[in-house]
Amino acid sequence: MRHLRIFVAVADELHFSRAADRLGMAQPPLSQAVRRLEKDLGAALFDRSHRQVRLTAAGMVLLDEAHELLAREQRLRTLARRAGDGGLGTLRAGVPPDTTVSTLSALLSACARHSPGLSVDLQEITSEEQLRLLASGGLDVGLVHQPVDATELSLGPEVCAELGVVL
């Protein structure tokens, strides 16, 4: 990633000394890093002729990809930092329509104790629909009624609840 950041700085400036100044480093190590990247990739990234620096075709392709990769790295760092601080984002959870308020309250309280910064998006959906969404990535977790065919999923602990009838 360091070499990509250096490459992007040179590509943006089209000048090795200005890129070194921008990055707060000396020009020789910057040039060495670019040469190392070119060697690793097996392609020249800059045309350094006639006192002018220009991107080669390989450099133009790499620049587009490097911007995207560096942006993804930044997002990854931000997510990891938020997770470390307890701000994990949103947990998409499915629950059957007949889930009792006491059960939901107990689950949400435990979740809040365990991960205080976590937001929970509850969706009332059947066990079958939950399995479909869990398999496709539409849900992160689900509370399902047994028996279910969940061969592709990891199941947590089972909870037994007594049912009653009011006449």
User: Residues 141-162: pLDDT tens digits?
Assistant: 888 877 777 777 777 777 777 7
Residues 128 and 72 in one domain: no
- Show Cβ contacts of residue 36 under 8 Å, excluding neighbours closer than 6 positions: 3
Please report which helix (H) or strand (E) contains residue 101, including its range. helix 101-114
Instruction: For residues 2-23, give the mean pLDDT.
Output: 93
Q: What is the CATH number of the domain that holds 133?
A: 3.40.190.10
- Give the closest residue to 60 by CA, choosing from 50, 42, 47, 78: 47
Assess whether 9 and 78 both reside in one domain: yes
What residue type is 157 in one-letter code? P
The answer to whether residues 14 and 32 belong to one domain is yes
Q: Which amino acid is at 150?
A: A
Contact 131, 149 (CB under 8 A): yes
Residues 35 and 107 in one domain: no
Q: Domain check: are 47 and 112 in the same one? A: no
Please indicate, yes or no, if residue 166 is contained in any of the structural domains: no
Other CB atoms within a 10 A radius of the CB of residue 157 amount to 4
Mean pLDDT of the chain: 84
**Residue 24 confidence (pLDDT) above 70:** yes
**Domain around 54:** 2-83
Q: Which uninterrupted H or E stretch holds 52?
A: none
Residue 162 within a domain = no
Domain co-membership, 65 together with 104: no
Residue 106 lies inside a defined structural domain of this protein: yes
Looking at the fold, whether 44 and 60 belong to one and the same domain comes out as: yes
**Is the predicted pLDDT of residue 29 greater than 90, yes or no?**
yes
pLDDT tens digits, one per residue of 59-110: 999 998 898 888 888 877 876 776 666 556 787 888 888 888 888 888 888 8
**Using an 8 Å Cβ cutoff, are 131 and 144 in contact?**
yes
Determine the residue type at 117: G
- The pLDDT assigned to 157 comes to 74
Query: Rounded to 5 degrees, what are φ and ψ at 4?
Result: -65, -40
Q: What are phi and psi of 94, to 5 degrees?
A: -105, 140
Residue 6's CATH number = 1.10.10.10
Confidence of residue 166 (pLDDT cuts 50, 70, 90): confident
Whether the pTM exceeds 0.75: the reply is no
Q: How far is CA 58 from CA 20, 52, 74, in A?
A: 22, 17, 24
The percent of residues above 70 in pLDDT, for the chain, comes to 93
Residue where a domain stops, chosen among 83, 101, 121: 83
**Are both 75 and 93 inside the same structural domain?**
no
* 159 within a domain of the structure (yes/no): no
